[in-house]
């Protein structure tokens, strides 16, 4: 198999490190790695598949000769450098919110809409972490009986904010248990032993950008603008693994048993649903795993055709790094590079 020159923009961040790990674990055909980051991280050393690489500053010229670039450094960096990478003939898989809703940019979850990669123009968007895990579960059900409405409440880990948030949770826990006042820097309020019903910025509607991402991205990925989606996104003091309470209303009835059977055959999904044995998805179960876990599947008795379910996935893997690498694998498989 041909080897590719692969760049990771934001290589020293939580998602960038996870992308490198996933590339190695899946034996992605990397002939040469180009780790890129901000000026302050330039010169740092990283090891990939036994070889040491020096982190370089992310510049427009960094993408000369690069085949695939994974962007995980934030919206501003993506807006500035992703178009430059494309000009160099590089295919960009972008993890930020910069281009997701652009009509000519595919927004892809390979288990759900790989066909949207056809005709890409060099720039592909990786969806929001909380959206990815939800649509992997919803799509097989939607194909069986169309979904009319989705109500989702998320319980999102601090790793979704980055390494600084993970460090802050650790330090706050230590401070509180030692009887000291915790410092609050990353989040607007203490996250240790607390939950924050606030992810990203609020707009004039009272919703946050994270909530609107789930609304808009779900419709685009599922290819159905008629699905009504509403979301409440919450940050919880968990290191890895986003959890979601999801309620759906469908056009025809899906029994819990039918849903379990459909999802047990769905790619990338693992059903963990045995309440009598206290078995249901947990963030600890999902940490470090590739699958999206679903359980607590039960009928919603307030509507004719409703189901409740609990969905958990590792936000750094399926919610970011793994999905991005799967996009690249699909491009190779479909000869779209």
Instruction: Note the pLDDT of residue 2.
Output: 82
pLDDT tens track for 166-186? 999 999 999 999 999 999 999
Q: Which of 90, 120, 129, 142 is catalytic?
A: 129
Is 112's pLDDT higher than 90? Answer: yes
pLDDT tens track for 262-305? 999 999 999 999 999 999 999 999 999 999 999 999 999 999 99
Is 91's pLDDT higher than 90? Answer: yes
Neighbours of 252 (CB within 10 A): 9
Question: How far from chain centre, in Å, is Cα 135?
Answer: 11
DSSP-based three-state secondary structure for 105: coil
Which tokens belong to 156? 């999102």
CA separation for the pair 292, 311 (Å, rounded): 7
Q: Which helix (H) or strand (E) holds 269?
A: strand 269-271
CA separation for the pair 106, 115 (Å, rounded): 9
Residue spans in the chain of domains classed CATH 3.30.360.10: 131-314
Confidence of residue 162 (pLDDT cuts 50, 70, 90): very high
Report, as an integer, the average pLDDT of 19-35.
Answer: 97
Confidence of residue 193 (pLDDT cuts 50, 70, 90): very high
Instruction: Note the pLDDT of residue 271.
Output: 98
pTM: 0.95
Instruction: Note the pLDDT of residue 17.
Output: 95
129 is catalytic: yes
Q: What is the crossing angle of helices 209-222 and 129-144, to 10°?
A: 40
Cα end-to-end span (Å), the chain: 14
Q: What is the crossing angle of helices 14-25 and 322-333, to 10°?
A: 50
Is 93's pLDDT higher than 90? Answer: yes
The 3 state secondary structure assigned to 219-239 is HHHHCCCCCEEEEEEEECCCC
DSSP-based three-state secondary structure for 208: strand
Q: Span 4-127+320-333: which CATH code?
A: 3.40.50.720
Report, as an integer, the average pLDDT of 135-164.
Answer: 97
Alpha helices by DSSP H, listed for 108-152, are 129-144
Is 1's pLDDT higher than 80? Answer: no
Contact by Cβ (8 Å): 166, 159? yes
242 is catalytic: yes
DSSP-based three-state secondary structure for 303: coil
Q: Which helix (H) or strand (E) holds 6?
A: strand 4-9
pLDDT tens track for 203-225? 999 999 999 999 999 999 999 99
Looking at the domain covering 131-314, what would its CATH class be? alpha beta
Is 237's pLDDT higher than 90? Answer: yes
pLDDT tens track for 33-74? 999 999 999 999 999 999 999 999 999 999 999 999 999 999
Q: Which of 90, 120, 142, 242 is catalytic?
A: 242
């Amino acid at each position: 198999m041909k080897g590719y020159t692969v760049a990771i923009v934001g290589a020293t961040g939580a998602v960038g490190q996870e992308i490198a790990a996933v590339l190695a674990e899946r034996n992605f055909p990397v002939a040469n790695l180009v780790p890129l980051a901000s000026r302050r991280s330039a010169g740092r050393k990283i090891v990939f598949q036994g070889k040491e690489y020096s982190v370089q500053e992310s510049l427009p010229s960094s993408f000369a000769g690069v085949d695939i670039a994974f962007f995980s450094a934030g919206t501003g960096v993506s807006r500035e450098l992703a178009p430059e990478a494309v000009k160099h003939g590089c295919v960009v898989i972008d993890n930020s919110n910069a281009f997701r809703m652009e009509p000519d940019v595919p927004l892809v979850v390979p288990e759900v809409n790989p066909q949207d990669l056809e005709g890409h123009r060099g720039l592909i968007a990786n969806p929001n972490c909380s959206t990815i895990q939800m649509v992997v579960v919803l799509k097989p059900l939607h194909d069986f009986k169309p979904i009319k409405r989705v109500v989702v409440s998320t319980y999102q880990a601090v790793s979704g904010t980055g390494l600084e948030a993970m460090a802050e949770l650790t330090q706050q826990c230590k401070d509180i248990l030692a009887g000291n006042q915790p410092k609050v820097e990353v989040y607007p309020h203490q996250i240790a032993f607390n939950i924050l019903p606030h992810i990203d910025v609020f707009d004039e509607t009272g919703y946050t950008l994270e909530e609107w991402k789930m609304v808009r991205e779900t419709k685009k990925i599922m290819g159905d603008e008629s699905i009504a989606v509403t979301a409440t996104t919450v940050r919880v003091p968990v290191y890895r693994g986003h959890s979601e309470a999801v309620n759906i209303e469908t056009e025809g009835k899906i029994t819990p048993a039918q849903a379990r059977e459909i999802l047990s055959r769905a790619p990338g999904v693992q059903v963990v649903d045995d309440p009598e044995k206290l078995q249901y998805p947990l963030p600890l179960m999902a940490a470090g795993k590739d699958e999206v876990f679903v359980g607590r599947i039960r009928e919603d008795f307030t509507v004719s055709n409703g189901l409740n379910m609990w969905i958990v996935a590792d936000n750094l893997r399926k919610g970011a790094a793994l999905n991005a690498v799967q996009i690249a694998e699909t491009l190779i498989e479909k000869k779209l590079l």
